[in-house]
Amino acid sequence: MVLKNASVLIIDDDTDVLTAVKLLLKTEAREVVTEKNPENIHALLSKTKYDLIMLDMNFNSSINTGNEGIFWLKEIRKLDENASVIMITAYGDIDLAVRSLKEGASDFIVKPWHNEKLIESIRDILRSKDKTPGQQVEQPSRSASKGMIGDSETMKDIFFKIEKIAPTDANILILGENGTGKDLIARAIHDQSLCASKPFVKVDVGALTETLFESELFGHKKGAFTGAGEDRPGRFETANGGTLFLDEIGNISMQQQAKLLSVLQNRQVSRVGSNDIIPIDIRLVCATNLPLAELANENRFRKDLVYRINTVEIMVPPLRKRGADIILLAKHFAKQYAGKYMKPDPEFDSSAVEKLESYHFPGNVRELQYTMERAIIMSDGSRLTSADLLFSPIESAAEQSTAETVSNLGVVEKNTILRVIEKHHGNISKAAKELGLTRTALYRRLNKYDI
């Protein structure tokens, strides 16, 4: 079906949204109907079958489920199981919007959207309706950029988020353990953004000292400090018009946070040693290996800065939670390094596959990459076995150190409990009070340490 022959229903309690979409589509579609109240959906669909429905994720209606969009999507699907529905969502509801795809939505758009992309999305959906039942519909690629590979559901969700978020100007916070590929995601966001032809500038802010922080980010004038032999633009200026990627944002001090927040709020910088104001226009992407809960701790991180950098967050899963992606990535890296070292493309025997699948990869994708490079270098044939796969001694040593620390803490706790109980001649109530525990908590520890 072509758009000019289509009837479109738009359901949103925001009059401005209804007006904007109707103006956009009135010359493109045969019919455009708008509705503010989702409770009228049943009446509308009982009278007319629409070729496309656009549905908001949130309404101020009598239905208060916390995810009204999902509720009304299900209601639409009950009335017409073949209905094509595009969800309209804000930045903060993107995880919910991704879930809506699993509930039967055809697509979602993020406010504010780009008109050309919205119309193209509508056309793609309408074209798919022309497919005969059972005919395979070509799906858009879920590979976000070169270097990013994954077929797991979590990675497909991330690729879809990138596709939707990238064309907006939303600030992005990428969360995940070290080695999960946060920098690749940042690059993918830039490559699919409207400023893809502009600079992509990465800064490891966690490695900057207090004295270097301002100079690196905001620039300096000649003579501003010892060693400043010439004027130098900062990273904000260098990234102007493009994307600034601040890696390890969770490691900067409270003083650095205050300076960064001021620049982000005012959208301008002053070089060290100068009073001149320089306006900046950047897309900000940040990353950290800290859990969001730690960023929310105001003793460690300013909450107002968290809100500023976290319009949308992307959680990158550790490799151990990506299932079949482990073998997929292993084969990719093996082929890559076989080409680099001029060796034949390797095959994996069952013992190699089993060893890879059973390992938990504390160093994540980075550790897997180094493991495969080492295996290709050291192997003699074109078939990799479990003996060729040697995992990182660095990660093993770090895990061993952590385990020993936990074990030592357990010994200290057990000895402390024994000493206090002995001091109070076996009186559990008095011992618990001195230890700052409830009787129940102390009994749990007695069982834990078999006391």
Structure tokens at 153: 């559901």
Q: HSE-up of 315 (CA within 13 Å, CB side)?
A: 11
Question: pLDDT value at position 115?
Answer: 87
Instruction: Report domain extents, the chain.
Output: 3-128, 153-315, 324-387, 394-448
Cα distance between residue 42 and residue 71, in whole Å: 13
pLDDT of residue 257: 94
What is the spatial distance between Cα 189 and Cα 237, in angstroms, rounded to a whole number?
A: 20
d(CA 345, CA 48): 58
Could you write out the DSSP letters of every residue in 17-75? Answer: HHHHHHHHHTTTSSEEEEES-GGGHHHHHHH---SEEEEES---SS--SS-HHHHHHHH
CA 271 to chain centre: 32
Fold classification of 3-128 (topology level): Rossmann fold (3.40.50)
Residues in the chain, pLDDT under 50: 132-144, 398-399, 401-403
One DSSP character per residue, 380-448 reads: SSSEE-GGG----HHHHHHHHHHHHHHHHHHHHHHHHHHHHHHHTTT-HHHHHHHHT--HHHHHHHHHH
Q: Which pLDDT value is given to residue 348? A: 95
Whether 126 and 52 have beta carbons less than 8 Å apart is answered as: yes
Spatial separation of the C-alpha atoms in residues 154 and 328, rounded to whole Å: 15
- Domain 3-128 and domain 324-387, same fold? Reply is no
- What pLDDT is recorded for position 408? 63
CA distance 54 to 57: 10
pLDDT of residue 329: 95
Fold classification of 394-448 is Arc Repressor Mutant, subunit A (1.10.10)
> Does a cis peptide bond (omega within 30 degrees of 0) precede residue 112?
yes
Please calculate the CA angle 111-114-117 and round it to the nearest 5 degrees: 115
How is residue 326 written in tokens?
């482990």
What is residue 111's predicted lDDT score, i.e. its pLDDT? 81
- Decide if domain 153-315 falls under CATH 3.40.50.300: yes
Which structure tokens are listed for 282? 């950047």
Architecture in CATH for domain 324-387: Orthogonal Bundle (1.10)
CA 111 to chain centre: 18
